[in-house]
C-alpha cells in the first residue's frame, strides 16, 4: 500500500472498512478507477474484532424491520438489491467456511480476518488503488469534481464516497469525519449516540445487584415498543447481554428516561405457577431458584421484601411478586459509551440521500454509505449486511 502517484480518479472512497471496501470493489469491477483512502494503520480492524473474532457477517432474516432510522423505509431498496444470499455467495466463492449460530446469525468457522482478506482480494481484482495509512485533511468541490487533500498530496475525483463509519471504538480509528463532511455540504445529521451498548446502573441498584457479575438470565426485555427475548447478563457496572444490547438502541437517556421492562420468566404463567406453590413453606427465593439463578433470586426477593415463607405471604404479595417477575422495571443510569458500543445510532440524515444510490440529493457525486448513515441494525449481523448493501448500491452508481 505504498503512496500512489496518480492524482485523478473516477471515484475516491474515504474509509476502508466494510462498506468502503465493498463499494470500491463493486465500482472497480465496473471499470471505474477507484482510490481507497484510510487514515488507520491496519485494514478492516472493526471487522477483525467483530463477532468475538469470528465476524457475524450477515443475518439470514435481514429485513427493514431490523433497522432503526428516522426514515425507516430508506434502507429497503439497498437491502433488497444486495441480500444476505449475495454475500453468502461471495463468502462461498472465497471458500470461507461458515455456520449459523442462532437466529439466522452467520459466522466464520475460522477467523474474521478471512472476511478482511476477501474484501482486500475483491478490491485488488478490481484494481482499486490504496492510500493507507493516510490522513485526509479536507475535501472541497471544484466545478463538477471533488478535490481531496490528503497527507500524501491532493487527488481529484468525479465521485466522492464517505464510508468513515460511526464513533464506536475510537482507539481503532473512528472519527466524526463523515458527519463534518455532511455538514460542510449542507446535509443534516441526526445526533449520534452509542447503541448496542451495555447499560450502567445507579449505585443504589448496583449495591443490590452488582455482586451478581457474570450471572445470566434468559429474559424478555422491552423498551419503547421493541421486545427482545435473549439473555441478560449482570456486570460489575450494570447490565449487558444480547437482550440488553438490543434494548439499549431504543432506550433514551436523560431525566425523563423510560425504564426497561424485563420479563424474568418469559413463557411462564407466573401467577399459576406461584399458585401451585401457595402452601409451600419454602422461602420465595428458594422457589424462584427453580427457574432463575439462585443468587439473583435471593437478591431480587430481598429487594422486594419477599422474605417470609410463601405460605405466610398475603395474597396481595403473591400478586405483586407475579407482576414484578413478569415486568421488572429497570432504570439504567446511562450507557458505557462509545468505547463499549458496537454501533452508532443516528448519522447522516437519509432524507437528504437517494435510497437507490446513497448519493446526496443536493450534491451530485457525493455519496454516504455504511454506519455513517442514519441506519442502525439490530444485533446479529444486520450492521454488516447494511454495510454490504449500501456499499454495493453506491458502487453500482458512482
CB of 292 to ligand FAD, least distance (A): 29
Nearer CB in complex with ligand FAD: 12/299: 12
**Chain position carrying cell 455540504:** 185
Q: Is position 1 an interface residue for ligand FAD (rule: CB under 6 A)? A: no
The yes or no reply on residue 370 touching ligand FAD (CB under 6 A) is yes
Does 46 help bind ligand FAD (rule: CB under 6 A)?
A: yes
Q: How far apart are CA 298 and CA 311, in angstroms?
A: 17
Measure the CA–CA gap between 142 and 140, rounded to whole angstroms: 6
Taking the C-alpha atoms of residue 230 and residue 242, their distance in angstroms, rounded to an integer, is 6
Report DSSP state, residue 333: E
Which of the stretches 123-131, 138-146, 330-338, 380-388 binds ligand FAD when contact is defined by CB under 6 A? 380-388
Where do we find the cell 423505509?
73
Give the shortest CB-46-to-ligand FAD separation in angstroms. Answer: 4
Are 377 and 67 spatial neighbours (Cβ–Cβ below 8 Å)? yes
The reply to whether 387 sits near ligand FAD by the rule CB under 6 A is: yes
136 binds ligand FAD (CB under 6 A): yes
CA distances from 312 to 228, 241, 251, 301, 327 (A): 35, 36, 38, 15, 23
In angstroms, the CA 28 to CA 11 distance is 9
| Residue 376 Cβ vs ligand FAD, minimum distance, rounded to whole Å | 8
Residues 138-197 interacting with ligand FAD (rule: CB under 6 A): 163-165, 168-169, 173-175, 177
Binding residues with ligand FAD: total (CB under 6 A) = 36
Cell (9 digits) for 234: 449482570
Q: Name which of 353 and 372 has its Cβ closer to ligand FAD.
A: 372
The CB-of-174 to ligand FAD minimum distance in angstroms stands at 6
| Shortest Å distance, C-beta 139 to ligand FAD | 10
Distance of CA 7 to the CA centre of its chain: 35
**Site for ligand FAD (CB under 6 A): which residue of 12, 18, 118, 161?**
18
Backbone phi, psi, residue 3, to 5°: -55, 140
C-alpha cell at 290: 427453580
Which of 32, 131 has the CB closer to ligand FAD? 131
Asked if 299 contacts 288 with a C-beta cutoff of 8 angstroms, the reply is no
CB of 163 to ligand FAD, least distance (A): 5
Cβ-based nearer residue to ligand FAD, 185 or 273: 185
**Smallest separation, CB 364 to ligand FAD (Å):** 22
What 3-state DSSP class applies to 395?
A: helix
Q: H helices within 218-292, ranges in order?
A: 242-248, 270-276, 284-288
Judged by CB under 6 A, the stretch of 114-122, 287-295, 297-305, 383-391 that binds ligand FAD is 383-391
Hey, is 61 helix, strand or coil?
A: coil
CA–CA gap between residue 10 and residue 274 (Å, rounded)? 69
Instruction: Tell me the closest approach of the beta carbon of residue 355 to ligand FAD, in angstroms.
Output: 17
Cα dist from 359 to 165, 350, 373, 395, whole Å:
16, 10, 11, 11
**Interface with ligand FAD, residue 14, by CB under 6 A:** yes
* Secondary structure class of 48 (helix, strand, coil): helix
As measured in angstroms, the least distance from the Cβ of 345 to ligand FAD is 11
H or E stretch covering 241: none
Shortest distance, CB of residue 393 to ligand FAD, whole angstroms?
13
Q: Per CB under 6 A, which region of 34-42, 151-159, 221-229, 258-266 contacts ligand FAD?
A: 34-42
Query: For residues 287 and 389, which CB has a smaller minimum distance to ligand FAD in the complex?
Result: 389
CA distances from residue 112 to 8, 49, 163, 324 in whole angstroms, order as listed: 33, 7, 20, 42
Q: Does 39 bind ligand FAD (CB under 6 A)?
A: yes
d(CA 5, CA 346): 37
Among 119, 343, 348, 366, binds ligand FAD (CB under 6 A): 343
In the list 24, 25, 35, 56, the residue contacting ligand FAD (rule: CB under 6 A) is 56
Note whether 230 binds ligand FAD by CB under 6 A. no
From the CB of 86, what's the least distance to ligand FAD, in Å?
15
Give the interface with ligand FAD as residue ranges (CB under 6 A): 14-20, 38-40, 46, 49-51, 55-56, 136, 163-165, 168-169, 173-175, 177, 342-343, 370-372, 381-384, 387
Amino acid at each position: 500500500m505504498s503512496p500512489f502517484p496518480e492524482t485523478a480518479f473516477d471515484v475516491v472512497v474515504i474509509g476502508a472498512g466494510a462498506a468502503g471496501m465493498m463499494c470500491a470493489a463493486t465500482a472497480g469491477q465496473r471499470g471505474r478507477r477507484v482510490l481507497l483512502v484510510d487514515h488507520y494503520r491496519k485494514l478492516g480492524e472493526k471487522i477483525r474484532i467483530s463477532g468475538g473474532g469470528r465476524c457475524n457477517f450477515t443475518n439470514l432474516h435481514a429485513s427493514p424491520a431490523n433497522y432503526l432510522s428516522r426514515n425507516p423505509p430508506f434502507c429497503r431498496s439497498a437491502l433488497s438489491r444486495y441480500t444476505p444470499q449475495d454475500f453468502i455467495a461471495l463468502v462461498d466463492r472465497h471458500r470461507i467456511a461458515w455456520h449459523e449460530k442462532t437466529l439466522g446469525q452467520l459466522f466464520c468457522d475460522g477467523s474474521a480476518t478471512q472476511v478482511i482478506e476477501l474484501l482486500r482480494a475483491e478490491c485488488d481484482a478490481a484494481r482499486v488503488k490504496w492510500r493507507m495509512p493516510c490522513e485526509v485533511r479536507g475535501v472541497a468541490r471544484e466545478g463538477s469534481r471533488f478535490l481531496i487533500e490528503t497527507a500524501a498530496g491532493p487527488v481529484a475525483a468525479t465521485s466522492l464516497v464517505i464510508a468513515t463509519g460511526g464513533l464506536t471504538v475510537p482507539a481503532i480509528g473512528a472519527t466524526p469525519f463523515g458527519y463534518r463532511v455532511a455538514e460542510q455540504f449542507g446535509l443534516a445529521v441526526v445526533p449520534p449516540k452509542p447503541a448496542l451498548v451495555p447499560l450502567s446502573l445507579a449505585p443504589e441498584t448496583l449495591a443490590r445487584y452488582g455482586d451478581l457479575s457474570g450471572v445470566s438470565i434468559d429474559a424478555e426485555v422491552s423498551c419503547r415498543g421493541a421486545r427482545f427475548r435473549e439473555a441478560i447478563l449482570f456486570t460489575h457496572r450494570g447490565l449487558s447481554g444480547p437482550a440488553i444490547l438490543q434494548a439499549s438502541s431504543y432506550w433514551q437517556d436523560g431525566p425523563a428516561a423510560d425504564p426497561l421492562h424485563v420479563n424474568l420468566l418469559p413463557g411462564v404463567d407466573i401467577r399459576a405457577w406461584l399458585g401451585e406453590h401457595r402452601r409451600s413453606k419454602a422461602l420465595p427465593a428458594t422457589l424462584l431458584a427453580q427457574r432463575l439463578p439462585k443468587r439473583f433470586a435471593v437478591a431480587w426477593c430481598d429487594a422486594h421484601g419477599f422474605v417470609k415463607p410463601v405460605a405466610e405471604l398475603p395474597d396481595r404479595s403473591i400478586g405483586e411478586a407475579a407482576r414484578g417477575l413478569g415486568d421488572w422495571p429497570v432504570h439504567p443510569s446511562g450507557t458505557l459509551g462509545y468505547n463499549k458500543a458496537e454501533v452508532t445510532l443516528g448519522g447522516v440524515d437519509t432524507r437528504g440521500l437517494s435510497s437507490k444510490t446513497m448519493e446526496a440529493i443536493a450534491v451530485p457525486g457525493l455519496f454516504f454509505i455504511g454506519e455513517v448513515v442514519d441506519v442502525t441494525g439490530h444485533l446479529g449481523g444486520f450492521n454488516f449486511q447494511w454495510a454490504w448493501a449500501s456499499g454495493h448500491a453506491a458502487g453500482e452508481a458512482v
